Structure 1
Amino acid sequence: MVVVAILAAGRGTRMKSNLPKVLHSLGGKSLVERVIQSVEPLQPERQMVIVGYQAALVKTALVPIPDLEFVEQTVQLGTGHAIQQLLPHLEGYKGDLLVLNGDVPLLRSETIKHFLQIHQENQNAATVLTAKLPNPKGYGRVFCDDNNVLQQIVEDKDCTAPQRENQRINAGVYCFRWQDLEKILPHLQANNAQKEYYLTDAVTQVTPVMAVDVEDFQEIGGINDRLQLSGAYDILQARIKEKWMKAGVTLIDSASITIDEAVELEPDVIIEPQTHLRGNTVIKAGSRIGPGSLIENSLIGENVTVRYSVIDHSVVQNETQIGPYAHLRGHVEVGEKCRVGNFVELKNTKLGNGTKTAHLSYLGDTTTGTKVNIGAGTITANYDGVNKHKTIIGNNTKTGSNSVLVAPITLGNDVYVAAGSTITDNVPDNSLVIARQRQVIKEGWEMKKK
């Protein structure tokens, strides 16, 4: 049995923000969400988030995550004090307590699982996650015997010259046998300049205690300011990009590309420079995205091309071309073998297979049939100042340049709209519709004016 406690009570003053530190975003998820996500494979018996600064805001942000318990630390007096708040909530509990930090978001699930396994297999009273840093200056050193049994933790300022050669430091992640820890917690002392209660003091009062080195020291990096947040994002992006390139995705100039963790890519996808993939986006095999494109929470089919365009909450089916400089938003569905070209905006619109809207058009709240051709400059006037209205366009219909379709309106199948027309009434199948003033020429007008 294991209960997880996540320390998330601090303000994080170095972030220079009114937002609690643990709610700052990293790759589309808050720091604390990432920590919670990392323990999901463990299936813990309970997950307890210790909150303090703007506790209500943290609780609200985490409402979508089920089975969380919140414990308040009204005054922040150190890590030991935070865990003391669990005493009334874990009375009679006989399992292990895994302590994680809400501002350490890059710890992998595999690392935590291995750490917990070592703790339980060796029946340790406590286990400390450690890391060997290339430059451990400023960190307390952890000293172990040949079996990784902890002997002592020495603060950097107290280390002798030989002790400073030790690169192993405390990562601040612990697993305790709760029955041992709960006896010690009430007796922790704040004998330090900060007058705080530290969990490291509890580690030295139980036995046996082991250290487990993390394989990649970057996993244990905490976030205390915006610079560290940016560095963590770089690490996260490197992981994501490595994963997809190994899976058969081509990233051209990967340094200029960003990909959220929830994005799914299929083999033979090509991502061009300056392209950004956000949210729950799926891009299927053979598609080429970019350069200069943003796709968010959208599904892109096979062999689709998207250039210099923005696609948000939309679906684009196979073998369709998008862009350059197109904007799809608000639940657009584009069928197969379509073309959405230069400076076209689609909003809450469904295009049938083979439909083309090549340039300079706006279609809002519109549904088209198959093989429709939207002429340059065609717009649907879908808003009357109060309500939005639908436009329906049948199969094989063609609109001339600079047409205005005033919704609500329906154009039948095989309709031709003359260029420059403003259409206000429904048009039946197999029709030519012309709605414009007849051209008038007044010869010699300029001479008479003079």
Structure 2
Amino acid sequence: MENTMENTKVIILAAGQGTRMRSDLAKVLHEVKGQPMIGRVLDMVGLVSPDEIYLVIGHQAERVKAATARYDVIYVEQKVQLGTGHAVLMAEPALKNYDGLTIILCGDVPLLRGETVKELRAKCLAEKLDGIILTVRLDDPQHYGRIVRGPTGQVERIVEYRDATDAEKKIDEVNSGIYCFRTRELFAALRQIQNQNDQREYYLTDVIGIMAGQGKTIGTLLTADAGQVQGVNDLEDLRRAEARLQSSPHCAAR
């Protein structure tokens, strides 16, 4: 496997407030074992060496900038939070002439490992995919988006829990929120998404259904390590991340 990710850009979504954290502090600035979550994500991305990192900021943008000032990132501001799809679109002006791969990460997933990101990119390249989703199977999928597959096992779409049918809620393969796309295909699909959903937001997940419906090739990389893709959405998640780091200090590295 390649040691670097030349001709690969990374977009990190870090604009949200995180109301379930019960704090005025931007979610990505909450600390896990003495370090802001966004710092842990950026340290991990540094290990996989993309050629550019775009950090999408919004809530408390100046504080997030101050906390990440030592990193070599390009800031993209999402002034109004209209969903994850809208957040990624904020980076389109900088990437509109770029032909390579773009990896999308979340600033509130502090335990993701660099080797997993490298594997995701490698599979996208090896199988000549237009997009790939990092997935995980969970005994209790809770409120994660479900991976909906067709009769031959092909990925058809991702359905958010709020919009899922009872049958779809029984699917145990879920979306981690981590992707790799061919950049032109990503933005072509993003320009087609709508906000006809329960939250009235522009979901990044909708690009999967759009691309699959147009005959684009969408793959998945299933990780057996659910802990590394656990998002931090509330104080209990934060405690779990702390405990995991305490028991395995290097789980977010390599």
On whether the aligned pair clears a TM of 0.5, the verdict is yes
> Conserved in 2, the CA contact under 8 Å of 1:149 and 1:211?
no
> Conserved in 1, the CA contact under 8 Å of 2:89 and 2:190?
yes
Match of 2:232 in 1: 223
Q: Does 1:232 align with 2:241?
A: yes
Count of matched residue pairs: 241
Higher RCO, Cα 8 Å, sep 6+: 2
Quick one: which of 26, 34, 43 aligns to 2:40?
Answer: 34
AA of the residue aligned to 1:74: K
Match of 1:90 in 2: 95
The DSSP-based 3-state class of the residue aligned with 2:200 is coil
The DSSP-based 3-state class of the residue aligned with 2:39 is helix
Quick one: which of 117, 140, 145 aligns to 2:122?
Answer: 117
C-alpha displacement at 1:41, in angstroms? 2.5
Q: Which moved more, 1:55-64 or 1:163-172?
A: 163-172
> Conserved in 1, the CA contact under 8 Å of 2:15 and 2:57?
yes
AA of the residue aligned to 1:220: V
Quick one: which of 100, 103, 109 aligns to 1:104?
Answer: 109
Structure 1, unmatched stretches of 5+, are 244-260, 262-450
Aligned counterparts of 1:70 and 1:237: Cα–Cα separation in 2 = 31
AA of the residue aligned to 2:155: L
Quick one: which of 46, 49, 55 aligns to 1:49?
Answer: 55
Aligned counterparts of 1:57 and 1:148: Cα–Cα separation in 2 = 44
Match of 1:214 in 2: 223
Deviations 1:55-111 (A, max 9, x none): 01110111122x211000000000000011011111210111100000111111111
Larger Rg: 1
TM-score relative to the length of structure 2: 0.88
AA of the residue aligned to 2:98: Y
Aligned counterparts of 1:164 and 1:89: Cα–Cα separation in 2 = 37
Alpha-carbon RMSD: 2.1
The DSSP-based 3-state class of the residue aligned with 1:64 is coil
AA of the residue aligned to 1:24: H
The DSSP-based 3-state class of the residue aligned with 1:223 is coil
AA of the residue aligned to 2:73: L
The DSSP-based 3-state class of the residue aligned with 2:53 is strand
Match of 2:199 in 1: 194
Quick one: which of 68, 76, 81 aligns to 1:71?
Answer: 76
The DSSP-based 3-state class of the residue aligned with 1:152 is strand
C-alpha displacement at 1:155, in angstroms? 4.2
Q: Does 1:143 align with 2:148?
A: yes
Aligned counterparts of 1:116 and 1:232: Cα–Cα separation in 2 = 25
C-alpha displacement at 1:152, in angstroms? 3.3
Match of 1:204 in 2: 209
Q: 1:90 to 1:155 in 2, by over 3 A?
A: closer
AA of the residue aligned to 1:130: T
AA of the residue aligned to 1:138: H
Higher strand share: 1
The DSSP-based 3-state class of the residue aligned with 1:229 is helix
The DSSP-based 3-state class of the residue aligned with 1:197 is coil
C-alpha displacement at 1:165, in angstroms? 4.3
TM-score relative to the length of structure 1: 0.51
The DSSP-based 3-state class of the residue aligned with 1:45 is strand
Quick one: which of 10, 14, 18 aligns to 2:16?
Answer: 10
The DSSP-based 3-state class of the residue aligned with 2:141 is coil
C-alpha displacement at 1:45, in angstroms? 1.0
Q: 1:153 to 1:186 in 2, by over 3 A?
A: closer
Task: Give percent identity, aligned residues only.
Answer: 37
Deviations 1:2-49 (A, max 9, x none): 100000001111212222110111112110111111122321010010
> Conserved in 2, the CA contact under 8 Å of 1:104 and 1:220?
yes
Aligned counterparts of 1:30 and 1:86: Cα–Cα separation in 2 = 23
The DSSP-based 3-state class of the residue aligned with 1:190 is coil
AA of the residue aligned to 1:55: A
Aligned counterparts of 2:184 and 2:25: Cα–Cα separation in 1 = 36
**Counterparts of residues 160-199 of structure 1 (less than 5 Å):** 160-161=166-167, 163-199=168-204
> Conserved in 1, the CA contact under 8 Å of 2:14 and 2:55?
yes
Match of 1:405 in 2: none
Aligned counterparts of 2:31 and 2:177: Cα–Cα separation in 1 = 22
Deviations 1:120-151 (A, max 9, x none): 11111111111000111433321347996413
Structure 2, unmatched stretches of 5+, are 1-6
**Counterparts of residues 381-392 of structure 1 (less than 5 Å):** none
Higher helix share: 2
The DSSP-based 3-state class of the residue aligned with 1:240 is coil
The DSSP-based 3-state class of the residue aligned with 2:171 is coil
Aligned counterparts of 1:132 and 1:138: Cα–Cα separation in 2 = 13
**Counterparts of residues 197-346 of structure 1 (less than 5 Å):** 197-206=202-211, 207-240=216-249
